[in-house]
Amino acid sequence: KASEVEKRWTLNDFDIGKPLGRGKFGHVYLAREKKSNHIVALKVLFKSQLKQSQVEHQLRREVEIQSHLRHPNILRLYGYFYDQTRVYLILEYAAKGELYKELQKSKCFSERRTATYIASLARALIYLHGKHVIHRDIKPENLLIGLQGELKIADFGWSVHTFNRRQTMCGTLDYLPPEMVESIQHDASVDIWSLGILCYEFLYGVPPFEAKEHSDTYRRIVKVDLKFPAKPTVSPGAQDLISQMLVKDSTQRLPLHKLLEHSWIVQNADPSGVYRG
Ligand SMILES: CC(=O)N[C@H]1CCN(c2c(Cl)cnc3[nH]c(-c4cn(C)nc4C)nc23)C1
């Protein structure tokens, strides 16, 4: 609602509850807005830390982007406020917590759970890309689980609005050279690559190019050294989908709308987009 964004919030509007976790720049607390009794997650960031890490512009962009997004698989940002020393983000509370903890607990996910999550993330990315936003940081740590078991993409700290550089031409693409028009395509396809990594990690419990040394991981990524360990619970369809997403040439990666039509997704994803176990 428009009122939510324009309203001037202060700390006095909230009862602060237990800490939910800590991000790099501060903590996230369970909180309740006093008038509505609405439960939220209040992310508290220290201005001093933001300044010394020069991420104020990134935070402004995160707030600008996330506050305008409305999608069931994207964590809402209801508003923000600040005081002398801190910035506060009023975020949707995801009642079932962090996905990476679930993945650690169960080591890996079934094909049904994986396909359901991947399909819902693909729909969220289609929505994001449709608004010329790319997330650029899709990984288990940035995924939360809502009350019904639905996934929520959080932490838009690394997202960018791909047209911000190009808006200087006041919206027209006519004057852009091929490499800039192509890079708009390129930008969005980085999220397809990350979704492929995520699908692999959900099924095998580890990301595909993991190695002891960073230099080895780097080498395996640029070579797309993709191997599928023999695992009876992972079908050829899953390997086919992953192989179509982890393609070096970004223009050849499976488009997200095609992912939703892939037989392995159609056969395994729960149509409601929610994995009920
Ligand atoms: C970097 C960062 O913000 N990471 C996490 C911390 C908690 N935070 C949450 C955010 Cl931003 C929103 N909702 C959450 N729900 C939970 C949570 C729920 N349970 C049962 N356990 C937890 C934990 N955490 C959040 C995001």
Q: What is the pLDDT of residue 247?
A: 97
**Most informative mutation of 16, 28, 89, 92 for ligand 1 (most atoms within 8 A of CB):** 28
Which pLDDT band holds residue 58 (cuts at 50, 70, 90)? confident
Span 140-159, average pLDDT: 88
Nearest CA to ligand 1 atom 22: 97
Determine the Cα–Cα distance for residues 135 and 82; give it in Å rounded to an integer.
Answer: 25
**pLDDT for residue 245 is more than 90:** yes
23 in contact with ligand 1, CB cutoff 6 A: yes
Q: Please enumerate in sequence order all residues whose Cβ is within 8 A of that of 149, keeping only pairs 6 or more positions apart, or say none.
A: 96, 274, 275, 276, 277
Q: Token match 């609405």: residue? A: 38
Nearest CA to ligand 1 atom 6: 21
SS3 assignment, position 76: coil
Using the atom order of ligand 1, give the atom closest to the CA of residue 93: 13
pTM to 2 decimals? 0.90
**Most informative mutation of 32, 43, 98 for ligand 1 (most atoms within 8 A of CB):** 98
Q: What is the pLDDT of residue 164?
A: 52
Which pLDDT band holds residue 159 (cuts at 50, 70, 90)? low
**pLDDT for residue 148 is more than 50:** yes
pLDDT in tens, 73-116: 999 999 999 999 999 999 999 999 999 999 999 999 999 999 99
Q: What is the pLDDT of residue 168?
A: 43
Tokens standing for 271? 């149509």
